[in-house]
Amino acid sequence: MENLTTLPPDINTHWSAIAPLLTIRNEQEYDEAIQRLNDLIDEIGTNEQHPLYSFLDTLGTLIEAYEAEHYSIPNCSGSDVLAYLIEEHGLSFSDLTEIGTSETIEAILNKDQALTLSQIQHLAQRFKVQAQVFLD
């Protein structure tokens, strides 16, 4: 085995402590990584000068890669996603007044009308999902 001169000599000592923080191989490690990321966001926010900011950024990238591999979203329209969320949460059109009248919601679900940016923002906030899931 060749000597890895580009790595610090004490990497083996430190790696055993760091590796579990940067490894997502299953659902439990994914959940732990999400919790760790949320804790880092609470502490660091957007302070790029914070010593752990690069760790936060790296962890976010690892989580995103895990989600892309394990939680790929089928190619759905915004109205398909909305229909799914309405059914999943047992909602009626009257529960979604922040995006419009029953007629408006029906038109969106029938693909006769597209979701507006404002509606997408309201839905993303309500269902705690990224706004991109509603973009066609």
The model's pLDDT over 2-20, given as tens digits with 9 standing for 90+, comes to 555 677 878 888 888 888 8
59 and 82 belong to one structural domain:
no
Query: Using one digit for the tens of pLDDT, what is the confidence trace for 76-104?
Result: 899 999 999 999 889 999 999 999 999 99
Residue 136 DSSP label: -
36 and 57 belong to one structural domain:
yes
62 and 84 belong to one structural domain:
no
d(CA 105, CA 109): 6
Domain that holds residue 110: 78-134
Is the pTM value of this prediction over 0.85? no
